[in-house]
Amino acid sequence: MAPRGKTPSLIGSGAGSSKIVTAIKKRTCKRCKGSISGGTKCLEVGIPGSFGSKTYCKECFLLILEKSKTDLAGLEAAVAKI
């Protein structure tokens, strides 16, 4: 059977979409609780099943991204063994 439609991504589908935004006012990083000043770029990750989002500073998001890469590499290795 041939695949139909767009190929879904684990990033941005059911897991919530990520986007880079400029903070209009002061925000707090969800992970480190650090202050994100207005006018500073930060990252928003949508919360699945809601209209809300979590805000992260660049440093914390890079750590989250590295962990995600590690998890995906492990999953890829496991799927290759099937």
pLDDT for 30 equals 94
The pTM for the full model equals 0.76
pLDDT for 59 equals 94
pLDDT digits (tens, 9 = 90+) for 1-39: 566 666 556 565 555 678 999 999 999 999 999 999 999
Instruction: For the chain, give every domain's residue range.
Output: 18-80
Coil, helix or strand for 80?
A: helix
